[in-house]
Amino acid sequence: MRELFSVEGRVAVVTGAAGGIGGAIAELFSELGGRVVASDVDEGGLSRLVSRISSRGFDVRGFRADITSVDDVRSLIDFSLRSYGRVDALYVVPAINIRKPIGKYSYEEFDRVINLNLRGSFTVLKEFLEVMKNNPDGGSVVLFSSIRHLVVEPGQSAYAATKAAIVQLAKVAAVEYGKYNIRVNVIAPGVVDTPLTQQIKKDSDWYRAYLEKTVFKRWATPMEIASVAVFLAMPASSYITGTVIYVDGGWTAIDGRYEPKL
Ligand SMILES: NC(=O)c1ccc[n+]([C@@H]2O[C@H](COP(=O)([O-])OP(=O)(O)OC[C@H]3O[C@@H](n4cnc5c(N)ncnc54)[C@H](O)[C@@H]3O)[C@@H](O)[C@H]2O)c1
């Protein structure tokens, strides 16, 4: 039974590992006995993460890669295979958000969001799946959407569009690669305290409105998202594929307009 909830000896590649959620995934996966290739475009952040994990005696190796570059992604695959011989779990994490009304969005900004969130994710997915399909035990891929693929507020146009696209991309990948025993799923977080959301955290009204929208009246920690991401690499999740797991503290359950006095 313990095997069901283990990633012992498994190999994970975490992109966006210098960030809030990616960093927590890399930490948790390695602390549970897995082996991790942590990757990010931010070399400084990445080396701090790798030092933090390895100083505690866990197995992690860092590799700088920009996921918008096909060459970088292929180099990351080479590094991962040279390091550990295979990839069992892949986390496709990086994204940016430029929060602006549609009328004020420049085409350059729109392209920047699409290029990382959608094309970058697609590149990682495509290149890794073609390698992972040779793994006799299959594998697990986790992509990151957001509650913004379902519910929005002003300013989320390009970001929300990419997050909706990620859901469909993952479903198609799950269908195409199921025959190789590769599972592909999406996590849709609510609001998590990471560098991505500092603009909101710094605005006290915006910050409070977000926590009020959840059942627990608080934001999530990165580890509360990472724990679900790591579960998706465990044998316990072997029948989960092509789906979205909401980790949103009830955000999408509540309509939030009014609390009747019952
Ligand atoms: N934080 C939240 O509240 C929240 C909510 C919903 C969804 N999400 C999603 O979760 C994922 C992780 O978000 P986060 O909050 O940890 O973000 P973050 O900003 O903390 O981390 C993102 C990481 O991606 C890296 N990155 C950026 N461009 C890159 C590139 N071209 N190549 C490689 N790495 C690159 C950054 O350097 C950074 O370390 C994202 O997909 C995000 O959309 C986050």
Q: What is the pLDDT of residues 51-79, one digit of tens each?
A: 999 999 999 999 999 999 999 999 999 99
Proportion of the chain above pLDDT 70, given as a percent: 100
Looking at ligand 1, which atom is closest to the CA of residue 97?
43
Q: Which stretches within the chain are classed as H helix? A: 20-31, 43-55, 70-84, 107-114, 121-132, 157-177, 198-201, 204-212, 222-231
CA dist list (Å): 104 to 11, 77, 100, 198: 43, 38, 6, 21
Helix (H) or strand (E) holding 13: strand 11-15
Distance from the alpha carbon of residue 261 to the mean position of ligand 1, in angstroms: 40
Q: Is 67 in the pocket of ligand 1 (CB under 6 A)?
A: yes
Mutate to test the pocket of ligand 1, among 68, 162, 163, 194 (most ligand atoms within 8 A of CB): 194
- Which residue owns the Cα nearest ligand 1 atom 17? 196
Q: What is the mean pLDDT of the chain?
A: 97
Q: Is 249 in the pocket of ligand 1 (CB under 6 A)?
A: no
> pLDDT digits over 8-56, tens only?
999 999 999 999 999 999 999 999 999 999 999 999 999 999 999 999 9
- Which residue owns the Cα nearest ligand 1 atom 25? 16
> pLDDT digits over 204-244, tens only?
999 999 999 999 999 999 999 999 999 999 999 999 999 99
Residue type, 197: T
> pLDDT digits over 152-180, tens only?
999 999 999 999 999 999 999 999 999 99
Q: Is 142 in the pocket of ligand 1 (CB under 6 A)?
A: no
Q: Is 160 in the pocket of ligand 1 (CB under 6 A)?
A: no
3-state SS class at 221 = coil
How confident is the model over 132-138, as a mean pLDDT?
95
pLDDT-based confidence at residue 135 (cuts at 50, 70, 90)? very high
Looking at ligand 1, which atom is closest to the CA of residue 116?
31
pLDDT at 257: 82
Q: Does residue 256 carry a pLDDT above 90?
A: no
User: Among 55, 82, 35, 72, which Cα is nearest to 233's?
Assistant: 35
Q: Is 109 in the pocket of ligand 1 (CB under 6 A)?
A: no
pLDDT at 120: 98
Q: Is 193 in the pocket of ligand 1 (CB under 6 A)?
A: no
> pLDDT digits over 201-213, tens only?
999 999 999 999 9
CATH code linked to domain 2-247: 3.40.50.720
Q: What Rg do the C-alpha atoms of the chain give, in angstroms?
A: 18
Q: Which sequence positions are flagged as catalytic?
A: 159
Cα 47 to chain centroid, rounded: 19
pLDDT at 18: 98
Domain positions in the chain: 2-247
- Which residue owns the Cα nearest ligand 1 atom 31? 66
pLDDT-based confidence at residue 258 (cuts at 50, 70, 90)? confident
